[in-house]
Every structure is written in C-alpha cells, then in structure tokens.
Amino acid sequence: MSYIKIFDTTLRDGEQTPGVTLNTAEKIDIARQLERLGVDIIEAGFPITSTGDFEAVTKIARELSEPVICALARTSRADIERAAEALEPAAKSRIHVFTSGSKIHLEHMLRKTPDEVIQASIESVRLAREYTGDVEFSAQDCTRSELEFLYRLYAAAIEAGATTINIPDTVGYGMPHEYAELIRKVRDNIPGAGDVAISTHCHDDLGLAVANSLAAVGAGATQVECTLNGIGERAGNTSLEEVVMALHTRRDHWGHETGIRTRELYRTSRMVSMYTGVAVPPNKAVIGENAFAHEAGIHQDGVIKALETYEIMSAETVGRDAGVLVMGKHSGRRAFRKTLSDMGFEFDDERVNTLFKRFKDLCDRKQKVTSDDIRALIDAETARVPETYELLSVQFQSGTGMIPVATVRLRTDTGVYEEAATGDGPVDAVYRALERIAGLPLKLESYELRGVGSGKDALGEVSIRASHTTQHDAQRETQYVHGRGLSTDVVEASARAYVDVLNKLAAGVGRVQGAPQVATP
Ligand code: KIV
Ligand code: ZN
C-alpha cells in the first residue's frame, strides 16, 4: 500500500467560504482536532492578508507538533517573509508559494508575461527555501492553462527547490479523465517531477472535486488538498471525509492508505460546522445526518438482517453511533465519564464536572439522553468563554393574533437585570430584551436551528452569527462572532446563542474584519 498525504486547507481555503470568519481561538481548536484526526499538513492561513491570519498561523505553529504547518504566500518577497515569520515556531513548516498558470489569469489578474511569471516563481521558491526545506508550488487555474507553459513553469519551480508541486483546478472546470491526464502529463513531461510530491487541489463548481481528486490519485498524485465538509471558495473544495472514506472503503481498488483516524471524522466535521456556522446537508456523504439512516421498509429489513445489505461502511468507522440511548436520570458521574470515554472523549475532572451538571439539567427536561445529545452538550461547551453574562431565565408569550412579548433575566458582574420587549416573533422579542440589558447593538447575520436526534423532546441547537460595529474617532471596526445555544426549548436555545455572542465579545474573541489587505486566491 502506498501512502497518500492529506493536506487540510479548512483554515485557509475553507475560511474563504462566503460569510465565514473564524477567530484565533476557534482556529486553534480546529487545528488541534485536525492533529487528532491525523492530517499530514495543515494549511493554517495566509499570513500577509491580516494580522489575525498571521497570529493564527503563529499560534498553531507553536501549539502543534505532529502535522506540518503550512502558510500561503504569493510570489512576492513580502508575502514569503511574512509567511516565514509566522511559521518560525513550527516544529515542521511548509511555505506554499502560488502564482497563476492560465492566460486568463496572467492577462487580467497578474498583468505579467509568462516569462515574468516564471522569473518571479523561481525567485520566490528560492527565497522560501532559505526558510524551510519544505516548499510547495502551485499555479492557479491549471485546468485552463496551456500545457507547454505549465511544463516550463513547474520545471523552473522544481529546479528552484520546490518539493511539492500542486496542480489546482481552481475553478472546478476539469472532468475526471481530463484531470487525470493532466496529472499524468505533468508527471511524465516535467524534468524532476518524479522526485517531488504531486498534489491535487480541486474546487467543486461542477460537483466533481472528489471525483477529480481520486482520478488524480489514480494517475499518480500523492497528496490531496481538501477541507472538512467540503467548505471553501464558491462551491467549495474536495471534501476530506469523502475522499478519505473512498480511499479507505475501496482500498481493494486504490491500494492506498492515509494517516487519517477515520473515527475522528464525524467529530471534526461537527466542530467545523459549529465554528463556521455552515450547516452540513442531511444527505451529505459520510457525515450528513441521513448518511446511515434507512427509511424504506425493505432497506430497514435488510440492515436488521445484515448491515452490509445496504451499508458499505459502518457508522462507527467514521465516529458515529446511531444516537443510541446511553444514559438516564439515574446515571452517576462515573458512568457518565465512562460513556464519554467510550465515545472517544477524554476530559479532565473540571470539564467532566461541568458536562455532568449540564447532562443532569438535561435529564430533568428529557427522558432519554442519547449519544447525540451528549455530543451536542460537548460541542456547546467547547467554545465557551468566561460567563460575563449568565442567562437566568427567559419567558415569552406568542401565538396567533398576538404581539409576541418576552422577558429575560440576565446576571452580569454588576448585578441581575430584567427587561421585557415585544418583537416580530418570540426570538426577536427575546433578542430585543437582551440587547436592552447588554446595551450592545448587534446585527444578526445568520440564524440556524437544528434538531438533535428525533422526538418531541429533541434538543434544539441554535447557531447564530452576529456582528458588532464600533466607531473610534474616524475608525469603524466590525467584529464577527458565532454563538451557539442548546435547549429543549428553541426560544431558550436562541437566547443562549445570543448570550454566547455577548460573552465572546466581552472576552474579546470576536474576529475583526476590515478591508482585506490583499485579494485572496
Ligand atoms: O484554488 C486554488 O488555486 C488555490 C491555490 C492557492 C492553491 O486555492
Ligand atoms: Zn483553492
């Protein structure tokens, strides 16, 4: 079996998903989980673009020791030096230098001649090699580029010291057989290509990113660039979980292995969905809610008799169980810890105690507590910050023909406050009342409600993205924050999500977004 490297770009290309911004603490949490998942390379950011990106790359580089930490840079001295500076604390570092390969990009975007692009690439790869022995080189838009130019460009990059050559299908234009052919041609016609790693980077504009990546692997690529849940620019990137499970489930066909601990897939996917606020569609392969659900009677009958009648991989392999009943009102702390451990979570005493308290609160409201509920409790705790604001109670009245009204009580470090407000619906009324107490005007950018499990007493999980704008003299600054709330009552879950946002703003973990300093790829 030969080894395929998994290069995760959730924190870089994934963060380019429209509407997504991750703060540094969230990026570090995701990076730690990616290390647990076993990815080989983490592309942690594009340091020249903002101080936030720079800081995130540096902190991740300092914290993680297993994966290679990679930073993106254009073919410019300033970009490469900034990437190198951000990567300084890394145990293993990579600089990813990129330019463009197609006439369309050269003429309209770079405004450079082919020779100028080659010269800048040579100088940049050489400069990057002064900082690290691991340099990746990419030319955007390879699938719409002239082959002869790509051969010259990549040959020059290899000669200058690139150790991985990445062949991006930046616009998701390639068909699997064409992309495989491109990889083959690159491998066979570029001097030195046999001595470096060949990488794929596919976008999903035509829904072919995973198919194209696999086709490239079949043609000799040894690294796949991908993101959790397939998030990324426009239609997104190759889904890590899909490509990994295709290689794993059909290893008879591919004959390759990866370093991914597949049982960590579901947990990683949920964390990314939670922090980015990008929901996973229920029918999404491998990690969607329905991926292991059997609806038709004939299917149910089949899987009861033998799972393999309709399942090509088991839910457990990707870290899921069927939301089984695991605990009840009478379960004690020791049994709770054992359940966490069986589910793959090892926490310190303090964390177990906090979760146990939340679990007991949940048992008072819900008869059957499932592994899905416990996972949701853990997720809700993961991104917690100190509670400057504590929600004490929410009451509301709404119904046909009446104006919704809500009363909320909130504890802050200066006392307990109560406010009432009316609104366009119960959630709006609650949010207005909370805003009155906190005195922080927030703009709700997105609101999402998801049911955890099934049944009338199912938990409601609310995920919101809000922004807060401040004006200091002539300077306007907008912070973006995600908040999550969990409750069997969806209005209360909504209130909790709002309070989570308030606490994050108070803790200063909002992501400040100003005008980007450079255009991102
Ligand atoms: O899509 C793309 O071409 C990229 C490059 C920076 C690799 O993201
Ligand atoms: Zn990309």
Domain ranges of the chain: 2-276, 294-321, 390-512
- Give CA–CA dist 202/137, Å, rounded: 15
**pLDDT beyond 90 at 451:** no
Choice from 43, 135, 136, 138 to test ligand 1 binding pocket (greatest atom count within 8 A of CB): 138
Work out the number of other CB atoms within 10 angstroms of the CB of residue 456.
6
Compute the distance from residue 109 Cα to the ligand 1 centre, in Å: 14
Compute the distance from residue 140 Cα to the ligand 1 centre, in Å: 6
Choice from 135, 199, 201 to test ligand 1 binding pocket (greatest atom count within 8 A of CB): 201
Amino acid at 230: G
The gap from C-alpha 310 to its chain's centroid, in whole angstroms, comes to 29
pLDDT value of residue 516 = 42
Spell 105-117 as b/e; 16+ CB within 10 A means b: bbeeebebeeeeb
pLDDT value of residue 514 = 44
Q: pLDDT category, 373, cuts 50, 70, 90?
A: confident
Q: pLDDT category, 518, cuts 50, 70, 90?
A: low
pLDDT value of residue 335 = 85
- To the nearest whole number, what is the mean pLDDT of the chain? 91
Burial class of residue 508 (count of CB atoms within 10 Å of its CB; 0-12, 13-18, 19+): exposed
105-144 pLDDT, tens digit per residue, is 999 999 999 999 999 999 999 999 999 999 999 999 999 9
Mean pLDDT, residues 325-333 taken together: 76
CA nearest 284: which of 300, 306, 261, 265?
A: 265
Q: Which two tokens stand for residue 264?
A: 């960590």
pLDDT value of residue 513 = 55
Instruction: Give the DSSP H/E element, type plus range, for residue 30.
Output: helix 24-37
Compute the distance from residue 22 Cα to the ligand 1 centre, in Å: 19
**pLDDT beyond 50 at 517:** no
Compute the distance from residue 201 Cα to the ligand 1 centre, in Å: 7
CATH topology of domain 2-276: TIM Barrel (3.20.20)
**Ligand 1: residue whose CA is nearest its atom 6:** 521
End-to-end CA distance of the chain: 34
Compute the distance from residue 166 Cα to the ligand 1 centre, in Å: 9
Mean pLDDT, residues 344-360 taken together: 88
Amino acid at 243: V
- Give CA–CA dist 220/348, Å, rounded: 44
Compute the distance from residue 171 Cα to the ligand 1 centre, in Å: 9
Pocket of ligand 1 (CB under 6 A): 13, 98, 138, 140, 166, 168, 170, 201, 203, 521
User: Who wins on pLDDT, 229 or 467?
Assistant: 229
Amino acid at 106: L
- Give CA–CA dist 373/360, Å, rounded: 12
**Ligand 1: residue whose CA is nearest its atom 5:** 140
Measured CA distances, 140 to 172, 282, 409 (Å): 11, 32, 53
Q: Which of 37-46, 272-281, 507-516 has the lowest mean pLDDT?
A: 507-516
pLDDT value of residue 515 = 39
Q: Which atom of ligand 1 is nearest to the CA of 237?
A: 1
**Positive or negative torsion for Cα 109, 115, 120, 122:** positive
Local structure of 315: helix, strand or coil: helix
**Main-chain phi, psi angles of 322, to 5 degrees:** -80, 40
Contact 435, 402 (CB under 8 A): no
- Give CA–CA dist 508/345, Å, rounded: 28
pLDDT value of residue 17 = 85
Q: Which atom of ligand 1 is nearest to the CA of 98?
A: 6
**Ligand 1: residue whose CA is nearest its atom 2:** 170
pLDDT value of residue 458 = 81
Work out the number of other CB atoms within 10 angstroms of the CB of residue 180.
21
**pLDDT beyond 60 at 322:** no
pLDDT value of residue 284 = 95
**pLDDT beyond 80 at 380:** no
**Ligand 1: residue whose CA is nearest its atom 1:** 170
**pLDDT beyond 80 at 298:** no
**pLDDT beyond 70 at 223:** yes
Q: Which two tokens stand for residue 289?
A: 């809610």
**pLDDT beyond 60 at 270:** yes
Contact 478, 441 (CB under 8 A): no
E runs forming strands in 109-234? 135-140, 164-169, 197-202, 223-226
- Give CA–CA dist 72/82, Å, rounded: 10
CATH topology of domain 390-512: Double Stranded RNA Binding Domain (3.30.160)
- Give CA–CA dist 177/174, Å, rounded: 8
User: Who wins on pLDDT, 77 or 344?
Assistant: 77
Compute the distance from residue 326 Cα to the ligand 1 centre, in Å: 44
pLDDT value of residue 519 = 53
**Positive or negative torsion for Cα 26, 27, 28, 32:** positive
Work out the number of other CB atoms within 10 angstroms of the CB of residue 221.
28
Compute the distance from residue 433 Cα to the ligand 2 centre, in Å: 42
**pLDDT beyond 80 at 182:** yes
- Give CA–CA dist 401/362, Å, rounded: 33
Q: pLDDT category, 164, cuts 50, 70, 90?
A: very high
Q: Which atom of ligand 1 is nearest to the CA of 141?
A: 3
- Give CA–CA dist 59/12, Å, rounded: 15
